[in-house]
């Protein structure tokens, strides 16, 4: 049983390190703020969560300590990091930062255009 727990801990922490490395590579290589934000929020969420989960499993099975703070931190990061990444990308778009030339589709631009048109129609109808 102890060897299986060690293998699980190694896999979890190794996965976290791998996701963190992919995040660092994405921040360097990706062309614009939106793809970099995506890499930072998604990959680091999985990376940090895997490392925290690995340490949680270590303390629970090896040291016989159930750390409630670790569980709260895992839940908090799982909820807040993707939301923060989305809000940073949205704020960048609203301030006028252009998307990369390789971008095929701009869903946010069409949504903003529809919203502006609907608001103008409502003002005209009043």
Tell me which residue range forms the domain holding 102.
2-125
| pLDDT at site 15 | 96
What average pLDDT does this structure show over 78-86?
Answer: 90
Number of domains in the chain: 1
| pLDDT at site 126 | 73
What would the pLDDT profile of 13-72 be if each residue is shown by its tens digit? 999 999 999 999 999 999 989 889 988 888 878 999 999 999 999 999 999 999 899 999
| pLDDT at site 29 | 92
Can you give the pTM of this predicted structure?
0.77
Residues 29 and 36: their CA atoms lie apart, in Å, by 8
| pLDDT at site 56 | 95
């Amino acid at each position: 049983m102890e060897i299986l727990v060690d293998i699980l801990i190694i896999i979890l922490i190794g996965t976290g390190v791998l996701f963190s490395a992919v995040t660092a590579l994405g921040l360097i290589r990706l062309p614009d703020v939106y793809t970099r934000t995506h890499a930072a929020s998604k990959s680091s969420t999985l990376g940090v969560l895997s490392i925290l989960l690995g340490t949680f499993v270590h303390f629970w099975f090896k040291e016989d300590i159930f750390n409630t703070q670790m569980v709260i931190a895992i839940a908090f990061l799982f909820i807040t990091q993707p939301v923060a990444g989305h809000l940073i990308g949205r704020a960048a778009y609203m301030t006028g930062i252009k998307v990369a030339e390789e971008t095929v589709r701009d869903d946010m631009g069409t949504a903003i255009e529809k919203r502006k048109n609907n608001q103008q129609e409502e003002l005209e109808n009043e």
